[in-house]
Structure 1
Amino acid sequence: MERLGNGIEAGRLTPAEYAANFADLHPRLDKHEALVAADRCYFCYDAPCMTACPTAIDIPLFIRQISTGNPLGSAKTIFDQNILGGMCARVCPTETLCEQACVRNTAEDRPVEIGKLQRYSTDIAMQENRQFYRRAAPTGKTIVVVGAGPAGLAAAHRLALHGHAVVILDAREKAGGLNEYGIATYKAVEDFAQREVAYITAIGGIEIRNGQMLGRDFSLSDLTANYDAIFLGMGLTGVNGLGIEGEDLAGVEDAVDFIAALRQARDKSAVPIGRRVVVLGGGMTAIDAAIQAKLLGAEEVTICYRRGKENMNASGYEQDLAKANGVIIRHWLAPKSILGQDGKVAGIEVEYTAMRDGQLIGTGETGVLAADQIMKAIGQSFSASGLGALQFSKGKIAVDTEGRTSLERVWAGGDCTGIGEDLTVSAAAQGRDAAESITRAFAAALQPATAVA
């Protein structure tokens, strides 16, 4: 057993336990299960589920296609709107989007399992490598996409579909962005993120160059000088700090780094975890980190959130999933200082909080939680390095409804813009829509000027 610190160890479980703990959270429906699930859909004419989907997939249509034995047609209906429909079927918070809007979602009934049905169709299409799209004739235009995450991949595919050549520059060793590095391992097993990248780029005309970081290897001005248009979809690259004493102690780490390392680990038994783990935050990153800490063999995992349950960004379903895995969620606690012994984490001092006159305040009452590992999941920040004179809004790239930035020939989408929700499906929609805007801009430039009387 490898010991890396005060209670932080690898190999806490047996191989069988690791395999069971990190198996697919929701295995794909079989044909009979899919037909039964599809039969529950009312095929509403006004489709509130479709309105709730950020990519506006025609949900009643794709479910009807499943019910008539046409899963490939169903997959095309999904991919027409969202080429990342396979991953979205796995990670979308359907309980707060399409399934929440389902007319069957009542106290007496349960919603149609839209996410599982979407996975059923898209998995079949990808497994058979069924490609539905053929590139248009080459336009002679080359667009550079910065970031190979959901927004960048969606933009690249739609641009390639229209006949443009696309070069994707990504800082990581693998493409995929958060789909590859930022979600819980059990949500996308068997290297699905890379299989999806391969499926998307199979359309042709897309080149991915890894290890290329904006602000280090190139700047925005470099790109404007060499490409016909630019799409920025690099997401968030920084992690917010706590700004408290003890943050630099051994055993304190960023939850996003923990999740990324776990996803890239071929052998889960080699990933060290503490005996008592405290996760700070209330979003999906905090939930994913906490659950996986427990699955790695941590004896006690506690999420500390400074506000109430109703304020947590993580959905109720995800919170319940954490509790079902033995995670303790404590509200109205803010980190005050991290306590150490011999340079390593020994515990965390927290302060009880409350809302007064609409403001979150510390009450002055404190307590201490024993811990040998602390994970920070209090949000990520955007780095503007290499972006020059681009305009920003609330610390992120300012864009209009089509993704156009303040600079000519530069578009942006995804988490780096701060519009919409921080979801894979939202990023995919923004990348797709920006690609359409870029194509319209090219077409407008080819049109003769309108005569003015």
Structure 2
Amino acid sequence: MTKSPLSEGVVAGRLAPGQLAENFADLHPQLEDHEALVAADRCYFCHDAPCMTACPTDIDIPLFIRQIATGTPEAAARTILSQNILGGMCARVCPTETLCEEVCVREVAEGKPVEIGRLQRYATDTLMAADVHPFERDTATGKKVAVVGAGPAGLSAAHRLAMYGHDVTVFDARAKAGGLNEFGIASYKSVENFAAREVDWLLKIGGITVETGKKLGDGLTLDGLKAEYDAVFLGIGLGGVNALGVDGEDKSGVLDAVDFISDLRQASDLADVEIGRDVVVIGGGMTAVDAAVQAKLLGALNVSLVYRRGRDRMNASVFEQDLAASKGVRIITNASPKAVIGNGAVREIEFEYTGDDLAPTGQTVRLAADQVFKAIGQTLEGEGLPALEGRKIAVDGTGRTSVDGVWAGGDCASGGDDLTVTAVAEGRDAAEDIHATLMA
């Protein structure tokens, strides 16, 4: 992130290294063995457990918790990973409070669910620490599959296809595999380079080649991939960022939140990451919260998260909203950006208050800002794509697109929530359909 000479309030190293290390420590540290046993003992092992229904990857949650309770966390990990090969990262970033844990019988009865996410992390971390890959590659089929996008959907599809014996080549535009897990998740959710370590572990199945620096329209074409491979899976995510569409948006200091998070994640030293005194984040989703919280943890004096609708309409979960508030982020709702103000660099940003229907009220407010992060949604990018549904690639229930031999999944595809766990499920399910089609 390059600092404009006009942005005098934006500097690196606002906090001492020790304070930065403390601020960016693991949000939910791994359970100790005894803690895991105590947490597992709270599970009722329900028949037709609602937590399983709420899990996008259909993990047998009661079974894996029972396996932890009986002292076999490696077996629990296999139960998890058979459905969700990125179960380690999902245990860290999945909004369990609005999925499996929200419907836990303990939550309904007592207001305190079984800690399913932390138990999942305990199991998968235990297995990864043992340097074990629980799946073996089948006999080679001679079939070749191209996967475009090395994010959660693409990696999930690639692993399942490789496990069935297909040869898989994964292409990605960035210099490293991992997608949002590597570049788009708050640092305090994925410490100690976990995303990269999980990719390395996943690739131990064999049969997967990763080629970076390649994307559709720049070194790759869909027609070319179809000619060279027996099937193609698109897991390209959403590479573009929506514009604010207001006067002054081009001023120095107005940045994309996803770029800020990426720069922070890839920084070798957090003290080198520049942050302003007065930071405003525009948006109401997980990316907005991640950007706002990390700005505060880097030492910004004032951080405001501004959303155009009411707090109950924010895509970020109540847990994420409360986390932001606990770190000192001010959340302002029902306010829409009107103009970015400043002489070359942003100095203030003006908002207009809105009603619940987004109707303008005529009342405005200005917030001091030397940095503004846009987190108002992302858009699909790519050339020669299959037919779209709205602004995403149209797919059926198995991920098939309008182009024969081409499947898609994850954030770039229609349907489903834009969550890591949903992307994993879609990549896995498309791989199953690809395999069935290739072997028919």
Q: Give your verdict on TM over 0.5.
A: yes
- State the Cα distance separating 1:382 from its structure 2 match: 0.3
- State the Cα distance separating 1:4 from its structure 2 match: 7.1
Give the conservation status (yes or no) of the 8 Å contact 2:395–2:414.
no
Please name the residue that 1:451 is paired with.
none
- State the Cα distance separating 1:419 from its structure 2 match: 1.6
SS in 2 for 1:75: helix
Please name the residue that 2:439 is paired with.
443
Name the amino acid aligned to 1:191.
N
- Of 332, 335, 352, 2:334 maps to 332
Please name the residue that 2:423 is paired with.
427
- Superposition pairs of residues 39-438 of structure 1, within 5 angstroms: 39-106=41-108, 108-341=110-343, 343-355=344-356, 359-387=357-385, 390-438=386-434
Q: Whole-Å Cα distance in 1 between the matches of residues 133 and 367 of structure 2?
A: 53
Give the conservation status (yes or no) of the 8 Å contact 1:398–1:406.
yes
Name the amino acid aligned to 2:392.
K
- State the Cα distance separating 1:22 from its structure 2 match: 0.8
- State the Cα distance separating 1:106 from its structure 2 match: 2.9
Q: Give ranges in structure 1 of 5+ residues lacking alignment.
A: 445-453
- State the Cα distance separating 1:369 from its structure 2 match: 0.8
- State the Cα distance separating 1:109 from its structure 2 match: 3.5
- State the Cα distance separating 1:384 from its structure 2 match: 3.4
Give the conservation status (yes or no) of the 8 Å contact 2:80–2:120.
yes
Answer with 435-444 or 4-13: which moved more.
4-13
- State the Cα distance separating 1:367 from its structure 2 match: 1.4
Q: Whole-Å Cα distance in 1 between the matches of residues 296 and 145 of structure 2?
A: 44
Please name the residue that 1:25 is paired with.
27
SS in 1 for 2:351: strand
What is the TM-score of this pair, normalised by structure 2? Answer: 0.98
SS in 2 for 1:98: coil
- State the Cα distance separating 1:57 from its structure 2 match: 0.2
Q: Whole-Å Cα distance in 2 between the matches of residues 290 and 220 of structure 1?
A: 38
Q: Give ranges in structure 2 of 5+ residues lacking alignment.
A: none
Asked whether 1:7 is paired with 2:13, we answer no
- State the Cα distance separating 1:108 from its structure 2 match: 3.3
Name the amino acid aligned to 1:348.
I
Deviation per residue, 1:300-356 (Å, 9 max, x gap): 000010000100000000000000000000001000000003x1110001000003x
Q: Whole-Å Cα distance in 2 between the matches of residues 11 and 109 of structure 1?
A: 41
Q: Whole-Å Cα distance in 1 between the matches of residues 276 and 201 of structure 2?
A: 38
Q: Whole-Å Cα distance in 2 between the matches of residues 131 and 273 of structure 1?
A: 40
Name the amino acid aligned to 1:131.
H
- Of 18, 21, 24, 1:16 maps to 18
Name the amino acid aligned to 1:423.
L
Identity %, equivalent residues: 62
Name the amino acid aligned to 2:84.
N
Deviation per residue, 1:130-182 (Å, 9 max, x gap): 11111111000000000000000000000000000000000000000000000
Give the conservation status (yes or no) of the 8 Å contact 1:6–1:345.
no
What is the TM-score of this pair, normalised by structure 1? Answer: 0.95
Q: Whole-Å Cα distance in 1 between the matches of residues 296 and 278 of structure 2?
A: 10
- State the Cα distance separating 1:364 from its structure 2 match: 1.3
